[in-house]
Every structure is written in C-alpha cells, then in structure tokens.
Amino acid sequence: MRVIASSAETYAFVDRMRTDGKRIGLIPTMGALHEGHLSLVRLAKKNCDVAIATIFVNPTQFGPNEDFQKYPRTLEQDLDVLRNCGCDLVFTPTNDQMYPAGHSTYVEPPNVASHWEGKIRPGHFRGVTTIVLKLLQIIPAHVGYFGRKDYQQVAVIRGMVRDLNLPIVIEACETVREPDGLAMSSRNRYLSAEDRRRALGLSRALGSAQRLIENGCTSGSQIEQCMRDALLAAPVDSIDYAAIVHPETLEPVESILSPVVGMIAARVGTTRLIDNATFTLG
C-alpha cells in the first residue's frame, strides 16, 4: 500500500492507473477509522481495480465552536487497518496543500444542503463540497464511496455531481452498526460509559419509528413524536432534529405514501451524534 502526502504524486499515480485502463474507487475519510470506513474500502476493492482512501481532517467543514482541534487523529493505526483491507493508496495531504495561503474559492452546495445539518452547522456542507471536489481533481476516480450514515452528505454530493457534470458515480453504502445498534462513528470514542448507553436512544428511536410505520401509521408528525419520546427516554441531553423526510429532497413528509427517511441529530454529554434509517411501508 502506498502512502502519499503530495497531490502531484497522487495525481501521477492515478493518471498511470487510468492509462492502464484501471477502474478507480475513492473513499474520502477524516481518519480515526472504524468498520464503517473499512466497509467502504472493501466495497471499492470488490467493485474497482484500485481502492484509494484519503485521510484529511478538513477544517472548512467544522464550525468555530466545533471539535476540529480535538477531532481524533490516529494515522498509524489507520494505515495498518487500511493495509489489512487491501487498500492500494492512501492520500494524506497537509492542510497547506489543500488550503494554500490565499485560498478563497469554495463550492456553493446544492439546495438540499439547506435543511437539517446545513441549518444547524452553517458552512458545513460548503466545506464538504469544496473538499470533495478538490479531492476529485487530484484523484479523478470512476466511483466515489460514501456512507449512508451521513445521509444528507450523500444527497449533497449527488447534487454537486449532477449540477457540476462531474464524471463520477456515487455509491451510498449501508451504515455499519455496533452489535447493540449504535451507528459506528469516529466521535463515539468521545462517549463516557454512561453516555455510550444513552447514545442507544438514536437507533432505538429509529427502531420505534419503523415499527410504527409497519403497524400502518402514515402520519409524519406522529412518527416524529414517537422518535422524540424514545430519545427523551434514553435520555439524550438535547435534540437538534428528529424528522421524517423525503428520501431525495429531504423535505419533511406529513402523509407517508412511499418510503421515507427518519433523520436524527442529538447531543449526548458533549458529543453530537447523527443517525438515520430508511423506512418502508408495512
């Protein structure tokens, strides 16, 4: 497995691979890797010839009061697990390389960024679209692998790919969970033992919503209330949103006639967690 910090060298490697007719899969990450990330690498390995992961804690997607400084950085362990997964190349750029002095160009995200995370974390998706487009310039991959765990992020990236005519296919991969249901996240390591128990409120709330829908409930607001009740029973410390939305527009749905997505963001202790699930009708 190659580990390259230079964008010029990475581009040259990818260019050679493309000239050789290889299909390239890209997995952008911020490191602190877990099984969720590795599932993306394995899928890329299975469906492409070359799997390229990137590790970069992107400052422009963090707000001023968020956890950029203390975001976990575990590069050596990350490289070990990527090697074991058969990853071919890891691009590990420096901040200066991605944001050279004077950097002032950003990608305006599509409208789907305006709800939920976009409202609560102003500028977050602008940071995401900017870094993903920059990574795609350095690594012109055929397929980009992203996790459904960040459901809105996938919708935002698909919107950018459509709007900017980017020649890439976006694959959205299932959320990998701990055995008790907690969605894996690099931020789970911030949770104390007690917070870790309370964090189960998110997946439980989604489970309750699924059961309600299977039992024939078609009212978005009733299902939202059921998710809120489950979150408060955990108890989480605060709820940013617990919403039933259309799978593509992410607009709230009041009358459920086709599959919908339940999206949750809540705070447990000082940790902000998100989760979601797609609900099919009963």
Active site members: 37
Give the binding-site size for ligand AMP (rule: CB under 6 A).
Answer: 17
Closest approach of ligand AMP to the CB of residue 72, in Å: 10
Partners of 255 in the beta sheet?
219
Binding mask 186-225 for ligand AMP (x = CB under 6 A): x---------------------------------------
β-strand pairing of 50-55 with 24-29? parallel
Query: Whose Cβ is closer to ligand AMP: residue 29's or residue 208's?
Result: 29
Query: Whose Cβ is closer to ligand AMP: residue 44's or residue 173's?
Result: 173
Closest approach of ligand AMP to the CB of residue 21, in Å: 27
Using alpha carbons, select from 19, 88, 94, 83 the residue that is nearest to residue 58: 94
Determine if 152 is a binding residue for ligand AMP (CB under 6 A): no
Among 7, 29, 152, 276, binds ligand AMP (CB under 6 A): 29
* SS3 assignment, position 145: strand
β-strand pairing of 260-268 with 271-279? antiparallel
Q: Which DSSP state fits 64? A: T
* The pair of three-digit structure tokens given for residue 234, joined into one six-digit string: 């955990």
Determine if 171 is a binding residue for ligand AMP (CB under 6 A): no
How many residues are recorded in the chain? 282
Determine if 265 is a binding residue for ligand AMP (CB under 6 A): no
Q: How is the beta sheet containing 169-173 ordered, strand by strand?
A: 2-4, 89-91, 50-55, 24-29, 143-147, 169-173
Query: Whose Cβ is closer to ligand AMP: residue 182's or residue 212's?
Result: 182
Give me the residues that bind ligand AMP (CB under 6 A), please. 29-30, 36-37, 39-40, 146-147, 149-150, 173, 175-176, 183-186
